[in-house]
Structure 1
Amino acid sequence: MNLKEPLDQLAVPPTQFTRHLKFPDPASIRVYDDTLRDGEQMPGVAFSPEQKLELAQLLSDMGVHVIDPAFPAVSESDRKALQLIVQAQRRGTIRKDIEILAMCRSLKEDIDAVADTVTAVGANPDDVSVLVLSTLSDLHLKYKLGKTLLRRDGLPEDQWLTRPVGYYREQNLGLITHAIRYARKRGFSRVEFAAEDASRSDVSYGEVWAKACVEAGGTRMCFSDTCGVFTPEAVDHYIPRLVKVLGPVPMTAHFHNDFGLGAINTVRAISHGALYAGVTANGIGERAGNTPLHEFVMVLKMLYGVELPGFRYDLLTELRRKIERYSGVPLQPHEPIVGEGVFKHESGIHTAAIAIHPAIYQFIAEEAVGGEQRFVFGKHSGAAAVESVLAKHVKTLHEHGVEVSPELVKRILDRVKSLREETLPERGYPEAMDAHYRQYYGLGLSEERIVELALEAADKRRVF
Structure 2
Amino acid sequence: MNIKVLDTTLRDGEQTPGVSLTPKEKLRIANKLDEIKVDYIEAGSAITSEGERQSIKEITRQGFNAEILSFSRPLTVDIDYCLDCDVDGVNLVVPTSELHITDKLNTDFENLLELSNNAVDYCKDHGLIVELSAEDASRSGVDFLKSVFDNAIDHGADRVCVCDTVGILTPDTSYDLFSQFRDLSVPIACHCHNDFGLAVANTLSAIKGGASEIHTTINGIGERAGNTSFEECVVSIDRLLPEFSTEVKINEIYDISKLVARLTGVYIQPNKAIVGENAFAHESGIHSDGIIKNSATYEPMTPELVGRKRKFVIGKHMGTHGLNNRLKELGLDVDKNQLQQICDNIKVLADKGKTVTDVDLQVIADNVLEIDHEDRIRLDEVTIVSGNKVMPTASVKITVDDEEILNAGVGLGPVDAAINALKSLDIFKDIDLIEYHVDSITGGTDAFIDVIIKLQKGDKVVSARGTEPDIINASVKAYVAGVNRLLRD
Q: What TM-score, normalized by structure 1, do the two folds share?
A: 0.74
Equivalent position of 2:334 in the other structure = 404
> Are 2:143 and 1:175 equivalent residues in the alignment?
no
Q: Note if contact 2:193-2:228 (Cα within 8 Å) is conserved in structure 1.
A: yes
SS at match of 1:73: coil
Contact in 2 for aligned 1:131/1:191 (Cα 8 Å): yes
Q: Could you list the per-position Cα deviations for residues 18-67 of structure 1 after superposition, in whole angstroms to 9, with x for gaps in the alignment?
A: xxxxxxx22xx201111110111111111111111111111111111000
1:352–1:384 contact (8 Å) kept in structure 2: yes
Q: Are the counterparts in 2 of residues 39 and 289 from structure 1 also a CA contact under 8 Å?
A: yes
Write the distance in 2 (CA, Å) between the matches of 1:117 and 1:312.
28
1:342 CA displacement = 1.1
| Higher helix proportion (structure 1 or 2) | 1
In the alignment, the residues of structure 1 paired with residue 175 and residue 344 of structure 2 have an alpha-carbon distance, to the nearest angstrom, of: 56
Q: 1:296 aligns with which of 223, 226, 233?
A: 233
Report the alpha carbon displacement of residue 389 of structure 1 after superposing the two structures with TM.
Answer: 1.8
The CA deviation string for residues 399-434 of structure 1, in whole angstroms up to 9 with x for no partner, is: xxxx52123212322232233334549x99999xxx
Where do 5+ consecutive residues of structure 1 fail to align?
Answer: 1-24, 119-126, 150-167, 398-402, 432-464
Match of 1:236 in 2: 175
Query: Counterpart amino acid of 1:212?
Result: N
Aligned with residue 96 of structure 2, among 136, 149, 159: 136
| Alignment equivalent of 1:114, drawn from 38, 59, 82 | 82
Question: Greater CA radius of gyration, 1 or 2?
Answer: 2
Could you tell me how far 1:187 is from its partner in structure 2? 2.8
Counterpart of 1:130, as a letter, is: V
Quick one: distance in 2 between partners of 1:259 and 1:429? 37
Contact persistence 2:60–2:85 (CA under 8 A): no
How far residue 208 of structure 1 moved from its aligned partner, in angstroms, is: 1.1
Q: Can you list the C-alpha shifts for 1:220-253, whole angstroms capped at 9, x where unaligned?
A: 1121000001112222332122332x22x11111
Which of 41, 53, 72 is the matching residue for 2:27? 53
Q: Among the aligned pairs, what percent are the same residue? A: 36
**Residue number in structure 2 paired with 1:40:** 14
* Partner of residue 69, structure 2: 101
Shift of 1:88: 1.2
Secondary structure (helix, strand or coil) at the match of 1:290 reads coil
3-state SS of paired residue (1:243): coil
Give the partner amino acid of 2:101.
L
Cα RMSD after superposing both structures: 2.0
Q: Structure 1 residues 430, 70: CA separation in 2 closer, same or farther (over 3 Å shift)?
A: farther
Letter in 1 for 2:219: N
Whether the 8 Å contact between 2:94 and 2:132 is mirrored in structure 1 is: yes
Deviation at 1:307, TM superposition (A): 5.6
Give the whole-Å Cα distance in 2 for the aligned partners of 1:237 and 1:422. Answer: 53
Q: Does 1:66 align with 2:31?
A: no
Separation in structure 1 between the aligned mates of residue 154 and residue 199 of structure 2, nearest angstrom = 30
Query: Aligned pair count?
Result: 360
Normalised to the residue count of structure 2, the TM-score between the two structures is 0.70
CA distance in 2 between partners of 1:303 and 1:275 (Å) = 16
Alignment of 1:9-48 (within 5 A): 25-26=1-2, 29-48=3-22
- How far the C-alpha of 1:332 sits from its partner, in A, is 1.1
Aligned equivalents of 1:271, 1:237: Cα separation in 2:
10
- Kept in 2: contact 1:267–1:296 (CA 8 A): yes
Structure having the larger proportion of residues in strand: 2
Structure 2 CA distance, aligned partners of 1:389 and 1:421? Answer: 20
Question: One-letter code of the match for 1:367?
Answer: E
**Matched letter for residue 182 of structure 1:** Y
> What amino acid is aligned across from residue 239 of structure 1 in structure 2?
F
2:466 corresponds to: none
Q: Secondary structure at the match of 1:277?
A: strand
Instruction: Give CA deviations for 1:368-425 in whole Å, capped at 9, x if unaligned.
Output: 011111111112122111211223344xx4xxxxx52123212322232233334549
Question: Counterpart amino acid of 1:256?
Answer: H
